[in-house]
Amino acid sequence: MTLEKIISVGGKPGLYEVLTQTRTGVLAASLIDGKRITVSARENVSLLSEIAIYTLTEEMPLGEVFQKIFDHLSGASALSHKSSKDELEAFFFDVLPEYDEDRVYASDIKKVVQWYNLLIGKGVTDFSTQDESETNSEA
Protein backbone atom coordinates (compact mmCIF):
# COMPACT_ATOMS: atom_id res chain seq x y z
CA MET A 1 0.00 0.00 0.00
CA THR A 2 1.43 3.35 -1.05
CA LEU A 3 0.32 6.87 -0.21
CA GLU A 4 -1.61 6.93 -3.52
CA LYS A 5 -4.35 4.80 -1.91
CA ILE A 6 -4.52 6.53 1.47
CA ILE A 7 -6.85 9.46 2.12
CA SER A 8 -7.79 11.82 4.89
CA VAL A 9 -11.48 12.68 5.11
CA GLY A 10 -12.44 16.06 6.55
CA GLY A 11 -14.36 15.73 9.81
CA LYS A 12 -13.43 12.07 10.32
CA PRO A 13 -10.53 10.89 12.49
CA GLY A 14 -7.61 8.89 11.16
CA LEU A 15 -6.75 7.74 7.67
CA TYR A 16 -8.57 5.57 5.16
CA GLU A 17 -7.47 3.19 2.43
CA VAL A 18 -9.36 3.59 -0.83
CA LEU A 19 -10.87 0.22 -1.75
CA THR A 20 -12.86 1.08 -4.86
CA GLN A 21 -14.46 3.96 -6.67
CA THR A 22 -18.24 4.22 -6.74
CA ARG A 23 -20.61 6.30 -8.84
CA THR A 24 -20.93 8.90 -6.09
CA GLY A 25 -17.47 8.77 -4.45
CA VAL A 26 -15.27 6.06 -3.01
CA LEU A 27 -15.51 3.09 -0.68
CA ALA A 28 -12.77 3.29 1.94
CA ALA A 29 -11.63 1.29 4.97
CA SER A 30 -10.41 2.92 8.16
CA LEU A 31 -6.79 2.19 9.05
CA ILE A 32 -7.76 2.49 12.72
CA ASP A 33 -10.48 -0.15 13.00
CA GLY A 34 -11.02 -1.49 9.46
CA LYS A 35 -14.62 -0.26 9.24
CA ARG A 36 -15.78 0.55 5.73
CA ILE A 37 -17.35 3.87 4.86
CA THR A 38 -18.69 5.44 1.71
CA VAL A 39 -17.09 8.81 1.08
CA SER A 40 -19.18 11.15 -1.04
CA ALA A 41 -17.56 13.21 -3.76
CA ARG A 42 -18.90 16.25 -1.91
CA GLU A 43 -16.80 15.57 1.20
CA ASN A 44 -13.41 17.16 1.74
CA VAL A 45 -10.97 14.38 0.81
CA SER A 46 -7.19 14.66 0.56
CA LEU A 47 -4.87 12.07 -0.94
CA LEU A 48 -1.74 11.82 1.21
CA SER A 49 0.35 11.72 -1.96
CA GLU A 50 -0.97 15.21 -2.85
CA ILE A 51 -0.18 16.86 0.51
CA ALA A 52 3.05 18.83 0.97
CA ILE A 53 4.80 20.64 3.82
CA TYR A 54 6.16 24.15 3.35
CA THR A 55 9.93 24.51 3.64
CA LEU A 56 12.01 27.64 3.31
CA THR A 57 12.82 26.85 -0.34
CA GLU A 58 9.96 24.71 -1.71
CA GLU A 59 7.08 22.44 -0.80
CA MET A 60 8.16 18.96 0.31
CA PRO A 61 5.77 16.07 -0.45
CA LEU A 62 4.36 14.39 2.66
CA GLY A 63 5.88 11.07 1.60
CA GLU A 64 9.37 12.59 1.77
CA VAL A 65 8.60 14.02 5.21
CA PHE A 66 7.43 10.58 6.39
CA GLN A 67 10.61 9.05 4.96
CA LYS A 68 12.75 11.60 6.84
CA ILE A 69 10.92 10.78 10.09
CA PHE A 70 11.32 7.04 9.38
CA ASP A 71 15.07 7.44 8.75
CA HIS A 72 15.53 9.74 11.75
CA LEU A 73 13.84 7.23 14.09
CA SER A 74 15.23 4.11 12.37
CA GLY A 75 11.71 2.86 11.67
CA ALA A 76 10.37 3.38 15.19
CA SER A 77 7.19 5.21 16.12
CA ALA A 78 7.41 8.94 16.77
CA LEU A 79 6.43 10.74 19.95
CA SER A 80 2.72 10.98 20.68
CA HIS A 81 0.67 13.54 18.76
CA LYS A 82 -0.71 14.53 22.16
CA SER A 83 2.70 15.85 23.25
CA SER A 84 3.07 19.54 23.98
CA LYS A 85 3.36 22.07 21.19
CA ASP A 86 7.00 22.75 22.09
CA GLU A 87 7.92 19.04 22.03
CA LEU A 88 6.22 18.54 18.66
CA GLU A 89 7.93 21.58 17.13
CA ALA A 90 11.34 20.54 18.52
CA PHE A 91 10.89 17.02 17.11
CA PHE A 92 9.81 18.35 13.72
CA PHE A 93 12.76 20.76 13.64
CA ASP A 94 15.14 17.82 14.32
CA VAL A 95 13.64 15.86 11.44
CA LEU A 96 13.07 18.71 9.00
CA PRO A 97 15.15 21.77 10.01
CA GLU A 98 14.23 23.63 6.83
CA TYR A 99 10.45 23.63 7.45
CA ASP A 100 8.81 27.05 7.32
CA GLU A 101 7.85 27.84 10.91
CA ASP A 102 5.58 30.70 9.79
CA ARG A 103 3.39 28.55 7.53
CA VAL A 104 3.51 25.13 9.24
CA TYR A 105 1.41 25.27 12.40
CA ALA A 106 1.54 23.04 15.47
CA SER A 107 -1.78 21.49 14.38
CA ASP A 108 -0.16 20.50 11.06
CA ILE A 109 2.78 18.90 12.87
CA LYS A 110 0.37 17.07 15.17
CA LYS A 111 -1.46 15.61 12.15
CA VAL A 112 1.78 14.56 10.43
CA VAL A 113 3.01 12.81 13.59
CA GLN A 114 -0.37 11.16 14.18
CA TRP A 115 -0.57 9.95 10.57
CA TYR A 116 3.04 8.70 10.63
CA ASN A 117 2.41 6.68 13.81
CA LEU A 118 -0.80 5.25 12.35
CA LEU A 119 0.96 4.18 9.14
CA ILE A 120 3.91 2.65 11.04
CA GLY A 121 1.47 0.84 13.33
CA LYS A 122 -0.18 -0.70 10.25
CA GLY A 123 3.19 -1.74 8.79
CA VAL A 124 3.20 0.84 5.99
CA THR A 125 6.81 1.83 5.37
CA ASP A 126 6.62 2.59 1.63
CA PHE A 127 6.16 6.34 1.61
CA SER A 128 6.74 6.75 -2.10
CA THR A 129 4.06 7.72 -4.54
CA GLN A 130 3.25 5.65 -7.60
CA ASP A 131 5.09 8.10 -9.87
CA GLU A 132 8.28 7.72 -7.82
CA SER A 133 7.94 3.93 -7.83
CA GLU A 134 7.53 3.84 -11.61
CA THR A 135 10.52 6.16 -12.11
CA ASN A 136 12.69 3.98 -9.89
CA SER A 137 11.66 0.75 -11.65
CA GLU A 138 12.36 2.20 -15.08
CA ALA A 139 15.90 3.25 -14.15
Where exactly are the structural domains of the chain? 3-48, 51-130
- Average pLDDT on 102-110 reads 94
Is the pLDDT confidence value at 39 over 60?
yes
Is the pLDDT confidence value at 131 over 70?
no
Band of the pLDDT at 103, cuts 50, 70, 90? very high
| pLDDT per residue as tens digits for the range 46-85 | 999 999 999 999 999 999 999 999 999 988 888 989 999 9
pLDDT value of residue 1: 75
Question: What is the CATH architecture of 3-48?
Answer: Roll (2.30)
pLDDT value of residue 75: 84
Q: Decide whether 3-48 matches 51-130 in CATH topology.
A: no
Task: Report the percent of the chain where pLDDT is more than 70.
Answer: 92
Check residue 26 and give left, alpha or beta (phi > 0: left; psi -120 to 50: alpha): beta
What 3-state class would DSSP assign to 21?
strand
What is the CB-side half-sphere exposure of residue 125 using CA atoms within 13 A?
A: 8
The CATH number fitting domain 51-130, selected from 3.10.450.350, 1.10.3720.10, 1.10.287.90, 1.10.10.1650:
1.10.10.1650
What contacts 24+ positions apart, CB below 8 Å, involve 129-137?
129/2, 129/3, 129/4, 129/49, 129/61, 129/63, 130/2, 130/4, 130/49, 132/63, 133/2
